[in-house]
Structure 1
Amino acid sequence: MSDHHDPHTGLHSEQGALAGEHPGRVSDPIVKVHDLAWLEFEKPDLTKAELFAHAFGFTTSVRTVDELHLRGTDLGAPCVLIRRGRRSAFVGPAFRAADSTDVVKLADATGRKAAKLPESLGGLAVDLVDPSGLRVRVVSDTHELAAQPAQEPLTFNFGHAAVRANAAQRPVREPARVQRLGHVVWQTTKYRETLDWYLRHLGLIVSDFLYYPGQRERGPVMSFIRCDRGATPTDHHTLALALGPANRYVHSAYQVADLDSLAAGGEYLREHGYHHSWGIGRHIQGSQIFDYWRDPDGFMVEHFSDGDLFDNALDPGWAPMKASGLAQWGPPATKDFLGIKPGPQALRELRTVVNALRQDNEFDFERLRGLLKVATS
């Protein structure tokens, strides 16, 4: 018998909540959104943004002097909207409501006004602001872009189950064709307040909670949150929230057909000089096969495939947060992915931590010790 210690021991979150811990949902939310619709950014150079987007696997659905809409192959709205701005910034997510009645209901409950979206998108929207200051848009009845030809998954011979004969595997080294937007990850200094806001206003439910090792009694510091569509399974997480020293975008994720399209697409990005952050591997929470890249403005984006789908019958899992717990297999998480890469980025992060500790929020010295322990685990 080997005495090798498995670093994943105890990190899978099939373990449930203890008495008195957060239930991961509310009983009577204002509405229940159905999915993410799109993400909105501002960038000064739309040409550079579009070149990367095509290499990453998007196609352009709208291009003007001041606006760029990027889509996947699935039927529906564009995945990403980019407007020309003086600096690069994440503006916020847009969630899709079941119908316009829910948009109006949410507007009435929050004292906001529902308004028509531009004709290029169509439909109705209400703009909210979460406790961290992020603009959150909820939309309905937007125009649907027709589906485009998708990348076909390869046919696999699994073990002795041989279904492919007299045919070789030769995946083309080309951009992975993005199918759809999967999720966005947001960091906040007001994690618990922000979490409860999303559960209450948008009817989201928690799939998994993470807590700092040795600090479970203080509550979770990260949650993977899905849409509640009853018995219809949805992505393990549409939104992930994490406690941290600043309110900021962490990354967004886009589904591709399979591992080969993800890997060949990554080689295409590498050959064209784009910055690889971390991967390829398979996550624990959500189970996705992942590969992380940075766009020319430094925003982290993820290709993923084969993610978990849950209906509303599953209660949240609980697990300690560790860097070794980010993947079931794959290379160790990089310093770039963890945000601790030496250089200007690390100095900015240090200043951010110092400023956060001076303010009244959830990120205190004990939480900082927990975060440092995670980064070095």
Structure 2
Amino acid sequence: MLSDLGKTLDVAREDRALLDEACRLTDRLADSLVTNGFARHFVPTRWGGGAGTFTALLDAVSLLAETCASTAWCAARYAAHGRLAAYLPEDGQQEVWGDGPDVCVAASVVPPQGSAVPVDGGWRLTGRWRMASGVDQADWVLLASWAPADGDASADGDAPGGATEHRIFAVRRSEVKVLPTWRPVGMRGTGSNTVEADVLVPGHLSFSLRDLARVQPHAARCHTVPFPLVAALIFAAPVLGAAEGALRSWWDEQAARTLPDNAVAAQQQVLARASAHIQCARLLLERAAQRADHAVVTPVLVAENQRDVVVAVELCGAAVDEIFRTAGSRALDEDDALQRHWRDITTARAHGTLKFAPAAAHYADALRTARAAEGAR
């Protein structure tokens, strides 16, 4: 279903200016993402979902991002958050998907924010959570806070010994207030606004971050891979598509120009270098998605996926930076397609999940640990 994107691409093309103005998706564009199956992509099959693959999501999101990276970002997040919601207890999943799998779930889960205090039957959740992409059109929101470990609290709400855990709570969109705080330079249409809540959350609508490591019996592959293996990949998919769109936009304009002989060689070199970097990025991300779909998971494999994803994003960013610098004055117009892609990629690269240094450190640590284990045998 994700491959049938024709109508969504048309709507995204028509509504791009509205997204930039309102700093959120249009309702009809959000509806189109649901129709295309993004919300149900990772929902378990027992609820009517697709329990789909990471490769299919990468292909669909990157294609969509060639036209509108904001739309693609929300599509990817709706899919990813459906996967997270599958770790709710069975009663919680029933509440979210009992009427069908086409449920849009927004989230603000990293870092934990707000406050969670155990109460009879659940939790009192209060505070504000930043950057919940696509929240305006969501049905549910996943919000994370540090909470007393295992819900075991003393009378003043503190866990014995101060033990806490990263806990995630599912809240109906109708129970929270959305504050229009999202006015960025790029990715303007993602509507990554702040959420304010003061709600009681039943225990069956909560799970801890460590639950993401548990393997569910008879679960589909997408529900058995560790969260760190795929988290960055889903954020990187819109960057890849935006880079491919930027390259196409730049070359369409360049090919129509008549350049002096001394400028032709420089143009050719930019084209060759940028296109090679973006193609390398696609190969890295496709390999990361295939690992997530099929490979035997080890700590080194997780670290390799993180390494490859952030390097792919760096390659895309460097390529688009170069072609933007060579585009001339036409790219200074805020309505220019190349500038839009450049702004979107620059904004997406600021996301903490796509930073190179943590991925590099994790990769080095994983290799050291693996080699130490080999030496001990």
Alignment TM-score, normalising by the size of structure 1: 0.27
Higher strand share: 1
Alignment TM-score, normalising by the size of structure 2: 0.27
Higher helix share: 2
- Pick the structure with greater CA Rg: 2
